[in-house]
């Protein structure tokens, strides 16, 4: 199959995207596919014409463009099948403030929040209790994310986010550990419990530095907690209108309480990333997982 592997882009997660895509290319070539590596930053103006020359597009973009649905919408114009969710679901999942409204409406447990699309007026004070987690509304990979114990720390994090032209989402710190669960097709996979080593929350260094976190798969939790994480992950996937695959992140708190943080429509895709680890528990190696995503994407394209 002639596969267009779309990576890079111009978001703050460009390097993460490029690194993951190189591993995807190697796995696909080993399985006999002809792969065109397409850096969106360098070749955006050629996307439609190039897509028309391929059987399928695999998107490995993080942030915007990519997770915002733009590339998916363009591929549809070129009548080129691709993996994962369409433009609408992608856009809603990427915008954390929009997604949290949808979670609430669907009855899914998520922390209270405050959304600041622009810098607040003088005299503004957060209405949530300290300490606070502060993040970009549309960022990923834990970039431009921090914890603030006081107003000075809060202002410093918000200044960085507003300077990047992004909105701010504020949430209270929730006690507990992070647990994540992937969806493949219409089935939830085995969850992973994440224990940061260097810090006490899953920041950029914990995600990408060697030994930055322990990722325990399957998660060493009770069958009841496993089942509830899987139920909520699938419910969030459906509430956002997602297709193919996704990964939902939660905080597992005292008394086995669960709070949904966000849903990723283009989760990390290296052999050691979270979703591939979960797929391995189902007997799927990295190449087989990529081919399963292609199969699901082709099925979705045929239905459309």
Residue 42 annotated in active site: no
Could you tell me which residues are annotated as the binding site?
249, 262, 264
Residue 76 annotated in active site: no
Catalytic residue among 17, 64, 141, 206: 141
Could you tell me which residues are annotated as the binding site for Mg(2+)?
249, 262, 264
**Cis peptide bond prior to 65, omega within 30° of 0:** yes
**Residue 86 region by backbone torsions, left for phi larger than 0, else alpha for psi between -120 and 50, else beta:** beta
Catalytic residue among 13, 166, 171, 278: 13
- As to burial, measured by CB atoms within 10 angstroms (0-12 exposed, 13-18 middle, 19+ buried), residue 30 is exposed
Cβ burial 218-255 (10 Å sphere, 16+ → b, else e): ebebeeebbebbbebbbbbbebbebbbbbbbbbbbeee
Q: How far apart are CA 154 and CA 124, in angstroms?
A: 12
Cα 137 to the center of its chain, rounded Å? 13
Residue 141 annotated in active site: yes
Q: Are the CB atoms for 65 and 9 separated by under 8 Å?
A: yes
Q: Which residues are catalytic?
A: 13, 141, 273
């Amino acid at each position: 199959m002639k596969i267009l592997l779309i990576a890079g882009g111009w978001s703050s997660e460009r390097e993460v995207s490029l690194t993951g895509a190189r591993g995807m290319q190697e796995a696909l070539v080993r399985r006999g596919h002809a792969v065109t590596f397409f850096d969106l930053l360098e070749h955006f103006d050629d996307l439609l014409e190039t897509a028309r020359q391929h059987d399928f597009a695999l998107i490995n973009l993080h942030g915007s463009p990519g997770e915002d649905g733009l590339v998916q919408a363009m591929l549809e114009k070129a009548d080129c099948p691709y993996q994962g969710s369409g433009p609408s679901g992608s856009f809603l999942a990427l915008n954390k403030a929009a997604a949290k409204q949808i979670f609430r409406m669907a009855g899914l447990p998520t922390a209270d929040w405050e959304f600041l699309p622009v810098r607040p007026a003088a005299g503004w004070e957060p209405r949530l209790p300290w300490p606070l987690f502060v993040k970009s509304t549309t960022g990923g990979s834990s970039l431009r994310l921090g914890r603030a114990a006081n107003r000075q720390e809060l202002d410093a994090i918000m200044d960085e986010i507003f300077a990047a032209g992004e909105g701010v989402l504020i949430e209270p710190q929730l006690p507990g550990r992070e647990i994540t669960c992937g969806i493949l097709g219409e089935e939830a996979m085995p969850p992973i419990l994440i224990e940061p080593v260097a810090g006490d929350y899953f920041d950029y260094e914990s995600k990408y530095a060697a030994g930055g976190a322990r990722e325990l798969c399957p998660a060493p939790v009770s069958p009841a907690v496993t089942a509830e994480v899987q139920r909520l992950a699938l419910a969030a996937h459906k509430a956002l209108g997602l297709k193919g695959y996704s990964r939902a992140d939660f905080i597992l708190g005292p008394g086995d309480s669960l709070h949904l943080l966000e849903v990723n429509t283009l989760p990390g895709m290296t052999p050691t990333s979270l979703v591939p680890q979960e797929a391995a528990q189902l007997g799927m190696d990295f190449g087989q997982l990529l081919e399963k995503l292609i199969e699901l994407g082709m099925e979705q394209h045929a239905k459309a």
